A and B are shown apart, each in its own frame.
Chain A
Amino acid sequence: MAELRPDLAVIAAQVPRGSRVLDIGCGDGALMAALRSKECDVRGIEIDPDCVERCVARGLSVVQGDADRDLAFYPDAGFDIAVLSQTLQTAARPDRMLRELLRVGTRAYVSFPNFAYWRMRWVLMREGRMPVTRHLPVTWYETQNIHHMTVRDFEALAKDLGVVPERKWFFTDDREIGAAGANWRAEYALFELSR
């Protein structure tokens, strides 16, 4: 099995054995496959039909759909854990998406690219153009990422929603880094939230 992306590896390690998990924007199902080996009841939502087909062909329970619209059809507290990895920045309304996460799950893991990462700031400052990086590889006019945010923005949003982040992890160059200066130093971040 291919190695999990670091944020997914952290989530896979954190999720208790046998949990009911909803992976929103599950992609090719890498996290789902890892959680299934921990005897989790894991379901996914994915918008890309090719990814969905690959997941279903792997025997994973994945529904093709748009999380902005389809999460509403999931019952309250139907899952122990809701996962939103590298997807919040594509949501029509990230604030509503977070509320939905903590409605369908009692706990949530959210990872997102940090737009305040110093390389981003550098490109913006020096070139005066929207950065294109390894983690945000698509130009501004064709990207699905419509709501760029920073670590601080996310913390402020969580506070506005009355949600206290339980734990945080930060990553740069596919390695975990410490929390000091994370808003500058982290390429992307992972937060654990509970209701």
Chain B
Amino acid sequence: MSPAPRSVILPAPLPLDGGGALTDTRIAFETYGDLSPAKDNAILVCHALTGDQHIASEHPVTGKPGWWARMVGPGKPIDTDRFHVICANVIGSCMGSTGPASEAPDGTPYAMRFPVITIRDMVRGLVGLLDTMGFERLHAVVGGSMGGMQALSFAANFPERTARVLAIATAARHSAQNIAFHEVGRQAIMADPNWREGGYYDGDPPGAGLAVARMAAHITYLSEDGLTEKFGRRLQDRDAKTFGFDADFQIESYLRYQGSGFVQRFDANSYLYITRAMDYFDLAEEHGGRLADAFAASRARFCIVSFDSDWLYPTSESRHVVHALNAAGAPVSFVELSAPFGHDSFLLDVPALDRVVQGFIDG
């Protein structure tokens, strides 16, 4: 599938949690599968931190398949023969939606003049897109990791607009540990001499800093067992240690590869803004301190999924959401799936996840 890239400019200013509003907000999106005549088969899928709208179509920069091509497509768990799947790039990002690399009204990139945004602001942007497309109510909103935060925020702030909410490997708040890892990444970017207070768009981007940020984050997406199984202490293309600082170990070489690949496709300032939005996320705080109150108005069915090897968004965070949903009387399913891949399990080959997603979406 390779639909033409599409975007809209929201007709109204987008109010922001941090104050003010974003004008002429562009939202880039892709759709897959036909819309039913009754317009009742739309599923919004929310992407994770460095994801994009190319959920099941070739990435225009890397040429790789969509990030959830294994989940979304004809006959797949989110079946595009039955459902109209919408995936949009969040505001603050760099794949066509308005973000720090976009032109500000004065004709130069926003850079660090871009307002600090929140997960709820991203969701407002997505709802703005749905309004523009004429979708009153979704069949489901689905997301993993940061996408799951958006799905929960969507349920809390726009309770009438979806019948189902599926949140995978996520949390209703960012933990101190998660904020800490994000801060390491941000400091790596801001310490890069090319960063220049974010004003690098007329020169070289802070690629070294962004690569380090990606390397640190990537470790948090995997599990210790998965790393040990995949790499152990094996050496890369050599028989002996060099007693230097080359990538002697396979894991070092792998992380360097991940870091350098990321720099080709992602904007460093977007990384700063989006990680900040995740750090600020605390759904209970937005609703008077009690998470159950966030879901009080919702009539949607919920499904929460965690993975036993995910230490970035551990099962305890999902249970916290489930208990709040129970307290709010919401119909909720929850399962902790066993998978070896850590946080990244939601993107990888976990057949049990396919069955749960399909069962919940169809049910």
The residues of A with any CB-CB pair to B shorter than 8 Å are 41, 43, 49, 52-53, 55-65, 70, 73-75, 78
Contacts and interface: CB of A to CB of B under 8 A. Distances in A.
A56 B360 contact: yes
A61 B301 contact: yes
Name the 10 nearest CB pairs between A and B, nearest first.
A59-B363, A57-B359, A73-B323, A57-B355, A63-B334, A61-B331, A52-B335, A56-B333, A56-B356, A73-B326
A22 B191 CA distance: 55
Given A49-B338, A57-B359, 7 more contacts: A55-B333, A56-B360, A57-B355, A57-B356, A57-B360, A59-B360, A59-B363
B359 A56 contact: yes
B71 interface: no
From DSSP, what is the main secondary structure of chain A's interface residues? mixed
Contacts, number: 67
B311 to A, nearest CB: 18
B326 A63 contact: yes
Contact of A49 (B301, B332, B337, B355): B337
Contact of A60 (B322, B355, B363): B363
A70 B334 CA distance: 12
A63 B319 CA distance: 9
A77 B338 CA distance: 34
A64 B301 contact: no
Interface of B: 301, 303, 319, 322-323, 326-327, 329, 331-338, 352, 355-356, 358-360, 362-363
A68 to B, nearest CB: 14
B332 A58 contact: no
Contacts of A58: 359, 363
Nearest to B353: A53
Interface centre among A52, A55, A61 (most CB of B within 10 A): A61
Contacts of A64: 334-336
A65 B360 contact: no
A59 B332 CA distance: 11
Contacts of A53: 335, 337, 352, 355-356
A60 B358 CA distance: 12
A113 B359 CA distance: 33
Contacts of B319: 65
Contacts of A63: 322, 326, 332-334
A78 B323 CA distance: 13
A157 to B, nearest CB: 26
B327 A56 contact: no
Contacts of B327: 73-75
11 contacts: A41-B331, A49-B335, A53-B337, A57-B355, A57-B359, A63-B332, A64-B334, A64-B336, A65-B322, A73-B327, A74-B327
A62 B334 CA distance: 6
Contacts of B337: 49, 53
Contacts of A78: 326, 329
A62 B333 contact: yes
Nearest to B363: A59
A72 to B, nearest CB: 9
A56 B319 CA distance: 16
Nearest to B358: A57
B329 A75 contact: yes
A59 B359 contact: yes
A25 to B, nearest CB: 15
B59 to A, nearest CB: 30
A53 B301 CA distance: 16
Contact of B331 (A43, A55, A65, A75): A43
A61 B332 CA distance: 5
Contacts of B362: 59
A64 B326 CA distance: 12
Given A70-B323, A73-B326, A74-B326, A60 B334 contact: no
Contacts of B336: 49, 64
